[in-house]
Structure 1
Amino acid sequence: MPASPSTARAINDRLALRLLQQDGPLTATQLKTRTGLSRPTVADLVDRLQEAGLVRVVGESGSDRRGPNARLYGIVADRAHLAALDVRTDSVAVVVADLLGVTLAEATLPIGGGTGTQSAVEAAVALLERTARSAGTAPLHSVGIGAPGLIDPVSGELRDTTGLPAWHRGLVKELQQRLPATVLVENETNLAAVAEHRAGAAPDRDTFVLLWLGHGVGAAVMLDGKLRRGASGGAGEIGFLPVPGTAGVPSALNCEGGFHSLVGSVAVCDLAADHGIKVRVPPGEAAEQDPAAAFAVRAALADGGPDAEAFLSALADRLALGAASVVAVLDPGCLVLAGEVGRAGGDALAARVEERLARMSPLRTEVRAGTLGGGAVLRGALLAAREAAQDVLFAPGGSSRDRAEGGRSPA
C-alpha cells in the first residue's frame, strides 16, 4: 500500500534532515542527488524545513555560482541544546552542546567519598545548571547520562547496585523531576561502545565487543549494530567472570576473585610493580581523569626494556583470559580495548592480545585499541541526547517550535 502524501513528506523531511546533520551543509542539488527525489520535491521540503525553523541558508557553494541553486542549507544548530553527563564513582563530568553536537561548555566536579547523598546530588545538579548557563543556552532539550551499574531494560532506570554510591540513583531521579527535558540514562560501557562505533575505533563494525579498561573492567556487546543489554541489563558485567589466576571466585556482591582482580587498575599497578615498572602519576587534572594503570602502561611502552616487555606480555596474557571467554560464546570477530588503559596501550597492547587470542581460540578475532579513551562515555551520552532530540524534532509533527523547548522524560 503506497504511503499517503503526508507520510511521504514526513519521510522525505526526515531523510533530508539526517543528511544535513551528517554531511551538511548541502545545496538543493546535492540533496536531490543524495535523496533521489525530484527537484520540485526537494524545493518543497526545503521550504517546509525552513518554515519550521530547522534549516536555514548558511552560505553559497562556490565563488562562481550565485542564485537559489547555489545556496547551502544547514541544520539550525541552536534549535535545541543538549547535555551529557559522565557519572563516575567520585566525580561528575558535564558537556553542553548544540543540536550538531558542537561543545559549548564543559566542566568536571570531584565528589569525595564522604559526601552525603543529598549534598552530592545537589552539587552535581548545580554543576549542570552552571555549565548550561555558561554556554548561554536556552532550556535543555535532552540530557544523556552515563553511569556505572545496571540499567533496568524495562523501566530504563538505574538499579540499586552494591558498591556504587547512593547519590548516583538520586541524581538521575532529581534531574528527571527538575528538568523540563528528556533525561536518558545508560550504562557507561554501553555508551562507550556507541561512541567507538560512531566516531572511534569501530565505525566499520556492526558486531564487536568493547572491553572497557579503566579503574575497573566492563564489556559492551554490539551485535548487528544494536547494543545487547541482557535480560536484567547486566550483559557485559565481565568483572565477575571467573578466571584462572585469582585467589578465589567472585560472589554475587563482590567481583573480587573475578576478571576484575586481574585487570582492574589496582591489579595492573601491582603487576607493574612486580616487574619493576615505576608508576609516576603527575599531579593535577590528568591524575584525576586517568587511573594509575594507564600511567603504568604508558611508562612500560616508553621504557621498552626487558622488564617493561615482560609486564606488557603478562598484562596481555591476563586480558586474553577474559577475552577468550567472550570470543568463545559470542564470536564477535572484533574486540576493542577501550577506556583509559586501552587507549594508553594502543596498537602495541592490542597486537599482543590478538596474538594470544589466536593461540587460545580457533575463532579469528581482530583486536583494536580504542581511540576515545575515557572521553568515550561523554561522547556516547551526547550521541544519545542528540538522537533523543532528533527523534522529536525530525519526527512527523515534531518540528513545531514548542517541541524544541524540551520534552520531559516519561515517568
Structure 2
Amino acid sequence: MTPTVPAFSPASPSTARAINDRLALRLLQDQGPLTAAQLKALTGLSRPSVADLVDRLAAAGMIKVVGETGVQRRGPNARLYGIVARRAFLAALDVRTDSATAVVTDLVGQPLTRTPLPVDAPEAAVVELRRAAREVGAAELHTVAVGAPGLVSPATGELRDTSGLPAWHRELVAALQRELPARILVENETNLAAVAEQRCGVARDLDSFVLLWLGAGVSATVVLDGRLRRGASGGAGEIGFLPVPGTAGLPSATDCGGGFHALAGREAVASLAAEHGFAGPVEEAVAGAAGEAFLEALAERLTLGAAAVAAVLDPGCVVLGGELGLAGGPALAARVATRLSALTPVPTEVRATTLGGDAVLEGARLSARDAAREALLGGR
C-alpha cells in the first residue's frame, strides 16, 4: 500500500511574521544593535519585510533606535536598532548542594548584579533576590531560570526529590514559584552548563558532544544532533552511578558511592592527590601542582567514564567541564584523549572547558533570555 503524503501547508502570514520577529530578536540579542540592511542580509528577508518587522517590534516596545552607523552616513539606512534592554528583567540561579548564587540581567542578557543567596531559608533567599533586582531598577522579575543538581522531570519541569540532596533545594523552587510573579524555569545544572558550552564555550562548532561535569559530584549531559537529551525520566547522564572497576563495591538506586562518582568526584580526586603527597586545594592538584604521576592516575580514572560514553553514544567529543575540568585544562584533556583512543574504536575528541563552574549561571542566563523573548512576543 502506498503511503499517503500529506499536502504541504505553507505558513500563514501571521505565522511567518511571528517566525521573522523571533529570528530578528534572536539576532539582536546575540549580535547587538543592527541596521535594517544588516537584518536583511542576516535573515534573507526582503527590504519591505524587514521594514515591516522593524515597525512591528518598535510599536510593541521591543526594539528602538540606539544610534547610527558610520560618521558620514545619515538617514534611515544608517539607523541602528537594538532591543529595549529594560523592557524586562531576568534572573539566573546556580543552586549547589551548599550554596546558591543569583545573577540579575536585563532582556539582552547583560548581567547587572551578582549576589549569593542564603541557603536553608528559602523565603530569605527570595527576599535577597528581590532586593538585588530592585537595586538595579527592576520592580519585578519577568523570568527566573534555576540550575540545580538532581533530576528534573521532562514532562512537568518539577525538581524531583533526590536522595542525598538537601530538602531546601525543592523548597527554594517552591518559594520562588509562590512568592514571585515570574515565570520560573528549572533545569538540571549540568544541562544548563552544556547549553553554555554549546552557545559560547568549547562546543560552539559541535552538533553532538557529551559534557562530563567534574565538580563536587560527577555527572554528564548528552547533546546529540543539536538537541539536549534528557531521557525518559530526566536521568540521562547520571554517570556517577555508572559501575566501574576500581571502586569498593557497586552503586545502588540511592547511593552512587560505588560508582564512577567514587573515582571522579571532588573528594575522590582530593584523596588521590593526597596519596601522591599533595595536601593543597584540589583545583591546584588538577592544574598540575600534584605532579605528573597524579595527573596520569586521574586521567586513567576519567577515561573509564569517557570510554563508556563513547561506546554507547558515539558523541564525537567529550568536554571535561566543571571546576576540575577547567583546572585540568588542555593538559588533562590530552591525557584522557590518549587513553581513550586505546580503549574504544570510536573516534572521540576530548576538550577542556573554558567556562568552568560559571557555565551553570551562563546557561541559566541564556535560557532565561530565550524564554523571556518568546513569552514577550507571544504576549503581544
TM-score category, normalised to shorter length: over 0.9
Letter in 2 for 1:390: R
- CA change 1:226–1:342 in 2 (3 A) is same
Alignment-derived partner of residue 249 in structure 2: 248
Match of 1:295 among 278, 284, 290: 284
Q: Match of 2:257, SS?
A: coil
Q: Does 1:163 align with 2:164?
A: yes
Contact 2:130/2:140, CA 8 A, preserved across alignment: no
Matches within 5 A, 1:32-71: 32-71=40-79
Corresponding position: 1:260 with 2:261:
yes
For 1:166 and 1:359, locate their aligned partners in 2 and report how far apart those are by CA, in whole Å. 43
Q: CA shift at 1:10, angstroms?
A: 2.4
Give 1:256 deviation, angstroms. Answer: 0.7
Check the 8 A contact 1:90/1:110 in 2, yes or no: no
Contact 2:152-2:188 within 8 A present in 1 as well? yes
Alignment correspondent of 1:360: 343
Shift of 1:331: 0.6
Contact conserved, 1:343 with 1:373, CA < 8 A, in 2?
Answer: yes
Indicate the residue corresponding to 1:145 in structure 2.
Answer: 146
TM-score, normalised on structure 1?
Answer: 0.88
TM-score by length of structure 2 reads: 0.95
Structure 2 counterpart of 1:383, from 352, 362, 366: 366
Q: CA deviation at 1:273?
A: 1.1
Query: How far 1:208 sits from its partner (Å)?
Result: 0.4
Aligned AA (1:6): S
Equivalents in 2 of 1:174, 1:319: separation in Å? 38
Preserved contact between residue 17 and residue 394 of structure 1 (Cα < 8 Å): no
Structure 1 unaligned spans of 5+: 282-292, 400-411
Residue in structure 2 matched with residue 333 of structure 1 by the alignment: 316
Amino acid at match of 2:336: V
User: Alignment length, in residue pairs?
Assistant: 372
SS of 2:194's equivalent? Answer: helix
Q: CA deviation at 1:110?
A: 5.6
Percent identity between matched residues is 68
C-alpha distance in 2 between matches for 1:194 and 1:339: 13
CA contact (8 A) 2:190 2:360 kept: yes
Q: Is the 2:118–2:124 Cα contact (8 Å) retained in structure 1?
A: no
- Correspondence 1:9-408 to 2 at 5 A: 9-109=17-117, 111=119, 115=120, 120-279=121-280, 281=281, 293-298=282-287, 301=288, 303=289, 308-395=291-378, 398-399=379-380
CA distance in 2 between partners of 1:158 and 1:377 (Å): 16
Q: Partners of 1:231 and 1:8 in 2: how far apart?
A: 33
Which residue in the other structure is 1:404 paired with? none
Give the 3-state SS of the residue equivalent to 2:16 in structure 1.
helix
Q: Where do 5+ consecutive residues of structure 2 fail to align? A: 1-8
Relative contact order, higher structure (CA 8 A, sep 6+): 1
SS of aligned partner of 1:26: coil
